[in-house]
A and B are shown apart, each in its own frame.
Chain A
Amino acid sequence: MPIRLKNNYTHFGLISIILHWLVAISVFSLFIVGVWMVDLGYYDEGYHQAPFIHKSVGMLLFGVLLLRLIWQIANPKPAPLSDKSIEVILGNITHLTLSALVFAVCISGYLIVTAADAGISVFNLFEIPAMITNLEGQEDLAGIWHWYLALTLMLLTALHTTAALKHHLIDKNDTLTRMLGGRGRGTKN
């Protein structure tokens, strides 16, 4: 069986799978680093380095999100594996909200840093210019939104993970394994 890059109506292709887990790992790491770095003192080693990495990864993540969005539009969406319509609806709402939240967290973070018209350097390789600047209280408001949106995102991620595990362990369907590239157990294909 050749490696499938694109989705079909029953399975995710390799590119969708990679993009999904890339976003998942990035979001989780960004959250952990973010929570940790804001309490660093002036003389701590990571005082400059941690925010630099957080911002660089955050901006790269935004690029990945755009690619993922394009890829999702250009690909068929594998059909849900649950036959309970409430689960399908809740799943769809959760997925849409998760996607919107990751975008919103990225944008709010960007608005903090660029509030005084400074660009964001991505690992010193290139710079994302400031575009929206000097709004009244911009860095403070964006900071509040960045935190609460990130918190909501993590809570919803917990729900998303729990649901995936529930489908895997209790419903015993391929929801989780097909996002890991598994061939599936043949159910609901």
Chain B
Amino acid sequence: MMKLFATALLTLLLSFPAYAKVEVYDLDVKGAHASIQFKIKHLGYSWLFGRFNKLEGWMSGDQADPSTSKVEVSIDTSSIDSNHAERDKHLRSADFLDVKKYPKATFVSTKVVDNGDKTGTIYGNLTLHGVTKQIQIETKFVGQGEDPWGGYRAGFEGTTTLKLADFGITYNLGPASTFVEMMLFVEGIRR
């Protein structure tokens, strides 16, 4: 009886090929093959780079129809690292990220548009510093395939520019430093 039920369920699932093809990938944060970097102008004379060391998330999609793809990423804001302890301490304070009050920043996609040539635009809601705003991430597919250890991986890169004041971060860093460029390099392992 159980076997019959299982066979029926399997047949049912297979009769919806679109459903069966949706693949879910978890970001490879354990192997640190997913990172979120940022750069911001310093006084207008050069770029300061930093990154968030702790994040987690997943992405899902159907290769036949990329527009059904979804992404969710959660960032531990206290993991900000600009290679300068006093600056990081300042960035975590109420002057900037206020990580005690807002320990997480999250991105949840709402729409994915395939722009062709392995590029796309991900629209979604970014919650940062307690403010949720729609942003768009310009995305490029990097590659996919089997890894040498029995898994299957796919990777993307994405960029977006955030106006700090949009998220209530108004500390005066000077007129050249009101925007921050975010760069995402994420590799997912198929579930």
Contact = CB atoms under 8 A, between A and B. Distances in A.
A138 B185 CA distance: 27
B92 A140 contact: yes
Interface residues of B, number: 12
Interface-centre pick from A42, A113, A115 (highest chain B CB count, 10 A): A42
Contacts of B84: 116, 118
Contacts, number: 32
A112 B87 CA distance: 10
B86 A112 contact: yes
Contacts of A139: 85-86, 88-89
Contacts of A43: 172, 174
Interface in B83-111: 83-86, 88-89, 92
Grouping DSSP codes into helix (H, G, I), strand (E, B) and loop, the A interface class, with mixed when no group exceeds half, is helix
A143 interface: yes
B49 to A, nearest CB: 14
A51 interface: yes
A2 interface: no
Interface string B14-55: 000000000000000000000000000000000000000000
A51 B84 CA distance: 14
B141 interface: no
B64 interface: no
A112 B174 contact: no
Given A115-B85, A118-B84, A118-B85, 13 more contacts: A42-B173, A42-B174, A51-B86, A112-B86, A112-B89, A113-B86, A116-B83, A116-B84, A116-B85, A116-B88, A138-B85, A140-B89, A143-B89
Interface of A: 41-43, 51, 112-116, 118, 137-140, 143
16 contacts: A41-B171, A42-B172, A42-B173, A42-B174, A43-B172, A43-B174, A112-B89, A113-B85, A113-B86, A115-B85, A116-B84, A118-B84, A139-B85, A140-B78, A140-B92, A143-B89
